[in-house]
Chains A and B, each alone.
Chain A
């Protein structure tokens, strides 16, 4: 996918989201979870759980380990890479992000596809 096919959406100012915090957003009509990891990296993932689509933002977040546990059925994700820990092998869809002049932008591909992965009962 080329950068040209992305629509960049202004999400929030960097200092609105502290390290170790996350935000539940709707961007371009899509639920997006943005996390500010301890250490500084900012990542944006699908906002609904790939298992049964419970909102990930309603889950339990451990800022020190960077692990998010979905409230639906306890699935755990390593939010530094967007990969499942328990169960392993289930990956979150990741949106590109960039920071420009203190503002975080999330890129949404303009491909008419849905931007989330599902791992039903795997």
Chain B
């Protein structure tokens, strides 16, 4: 053990800030890499101080221990039948998770390394170096674990493949993560990735998910997620000191705008991934709370506290758009993802057996009237043997910001939107479609950043996808027939409680 306590030498050792003389500040920290938002000279950033401190020696020691333990859990479990015995809905949640998250972890490493070079204080660059190593580890571990499951579930290769395809969910993830960290400057990354996304969403989600995984008996995933969370929780702490510097220098409005922008975008992708997992894919007997309860008790509470602590306000859309969406948005997405199941790389679990519907109605009063009726029709069709009626023939509109299908009619039906119409916006002669006012608002904040992107539907209509048919589009998305999603339980849910001859219920 070192003879000195960390606190005796730490401040001195990390104080590597100095004034530049051979180059200008702008040359060393160009705005595109590190937007100081007008806070100059650079000394004003030197007070940046991370709350939780760790030395390089401690870091390496800790990380080595974490890797040793999580990889040994994996190698023991690989020889067991644990995976085969997991619930099919849970497996789908895992396959979806790996595809959407593994490669973005590497990308987060790019964002971290940009902060590691262009962060405006030495202490910050030091933290971001650890963050870079963390995210590299997360990318590796989350491509390796699914790799060890390939013989049991070939679609585990989507952990690596998804982000390299044009699958629509992968485009939505890529669009979000490029905006948040791959193509973001260091200061904005600290507010948007570490403060908004990691502190606000993923760290809390990972805490909950690790517990859920243990509940359903997925020790492998549980160990993985909790190991990742221990890193996430540390490097996420780059956000708070950065917000503090902005606020102290009179730029609370900048921090507010960056948070409002990324909170909304994160919320939509979070609803898509986590909303479906929690309320439909996780086996009923293991659900400790609904997605809405999780959002209210963890995410909403934490954001309100953070807004208060740092002198920010709840986002302008908080009461008017965000809170109402908690009641309907992810239910609408679930219906859409299940119906368009050939377009995703996992097997959507309908999750609407009689007992599950009762739970949904209890957690979301009115669910039966708003969403249950669609599932009634789908169930009827399946029981009549008319599966084709439960499969898509066209594509929905896709939002030009979140890249997620527009589901406004469901919000209107649920009584939460004034109109079923999407938001239409014309910019430099091109028409853009948005699923919500906040998505349109994010576009308008910085049109030059977003205007050139074309959504899946723009490309379809623009003739880029040939042949312009559903099979043509599926091929363009990288989905072979074997990879396309199917109902996770082979429609067992539709026959539960029905004594149809030849029913698949068992």
Residues of A within 8 A of B (CB): 51-54, 71-75, 86-88, 118-122
Given contacts A51-B51, A73-B203, A75-B52, contact A120 B236 (CB under 8 A): no
0/1 string, B44-68, CB within 8 A of A gives 1: 0000000111000000000000000
Residues of B within 8 A of A (CB): 6-7, 51-53, 199, 203, 207, 230, 233-234, 236-237, 239-241, 243-244, 301-302, 305-306, 309-310
A119 to B207: give the CA distance in the assembly, Å.
Answer: 21
B52 lies within 8 A of A52 (CB): no
Contacts of A53 in B (CB 8 A): 301-302, 305
Interface centre among B52, B240, B305 (most CB of A within 10 A): B52
Contacts of B52 in A (CB 8 A): 73-75, 86-87
A75 to B51: give the CA distance in the assembly, Å.
Answer: 8
Contacts of A52 in B (CB 8 A): 199, 302, 305-306
A53 to B308: give the CA distance in the assembly, Å.
Answer: 14
18 extra interface residue pairs, beta carbon distance < 8 Å, beyond A73-B233, A73-B234, A121-B244: A51-B51, A52-B199, A52-B302, A53-B302, A53-B305, A71-B233, A72-B203, A72-B207, A72-B233, A73-B51, A73-B203, A87-B53, A120-B305, A120-B306, A120-B309, A121-B239, A121-B243, A122-B51
Contacts of A54 in B (CB 8 A): 207
A73 to B419: give the CA distance in the assembly, Å.
Answer: 42
A67 to B474: give the CA distance in the assembly, Å.
Answer: 55
| 23 A-B pairs in the complex with CB atoms less than 8 angstroms apart | A52-B305, A52-B306, A53-B301, A54-B207, A71-B233, A73-B51, A73-B203, A73-B236, A75-B51, A75-B52, A86-B6, A86-B52, A87-B51, A87-B53, A119-B51, A120-B240, A120-B305, A121-B237, A121-B239, A121-B240, A121-B243, A121-B310, A122-B51
Q: How far is the CB of B180 from chain A (nearest CB, A)?
A: 20
A73 to B199: give the CA distance in the assembly, Å.
Answer: 9
Q: How far is the CB of B13 from chain A (nearest CB, A)?
A: 15
Given contacts A53-B305, A88-B7, A121-B240, contact A74 B233 (CB under 8 A): yes
A72 to B310: give the CA distance in the assembly, Å.
Answer: 19
A121 to B49: give the CA distance in the assembly, Å.
Answer: 9
Closest to B50 in A: A87
Interface centre among B233, B241, B244 (most CB of A within 10 A): B233
Contacts of B241 in A (CB 8 A): 121
Closest to A121 in B: B240
A31 to B441: give the CA distance in the assembly, Å.
Answer: 41
Closest to A118 in B: B309
Contacts of B309 in A (CB 8 A): 118, 120-121
Contacts of B236 in A (CB 8 A): 73
Q: How far is the CB of B54 from chain A (nearest CB, A)?
A: 8
A52 to B230: give the CA distance in the assembly, Å.
Answer: 15
Contacts of B301 in A (CB 8 A): 53
Complex partner residue of B310 from A71, A73, A74, A120, CB under 8 angstroms: A120
A74 lies within 8 A of B244 (CB): no
Contacts of A120 in B (CB 8 A): 240, 305-306, 309-310
A74 to B130: give the CA distance in the assembly, Å.
Answer: 15
Closest to A71 in B: B207
Interface centre among A52, A75, A86 (most CB of B within 10 A): A52
Closest to A70 in B: B233
A76 to B117: give the CA distance in the assembly, Å.
Answer: 29
Contacts of A87 in B (CB 8 A): 51-53
Q: How far is the CB of A67 from chain B (nearest CB, A)?
A: 13
A86 lies within 8 A of B302 (CB): no
Q: How far is the CB of B200 from chain A (nearest CB, A)?
A: 10
A74 to B244: give the CA distance in the assembly, Å.
Answer: 20
A72 to B236: give the CA distance in the assembly, Å.
Answer: 11
A54 to B306: give the CA distance in the assembly, Å.
Answer: 13
Given contacts A71-B207, A121-B244, contact A86 B53 (CB under 8 A): yes
Contacts of B302 in A (CB 8 A): 52-53
A54 to B239: give the CA distance in the assembly, Å.
Answer: 18
Closest to B229 in A: A71
> Closest 6 interchain pairs by CB?
A121-B240, A120-B309, A73-B233, A87-B51, A74-B52, A74-B234
Q: How far is the CB of B52 from chain A (nearest CB, A)?
A: 5
A54 to B236: give the CA distance in the assembly, Å.
Answer: 15
Closest to A52 in B: B302
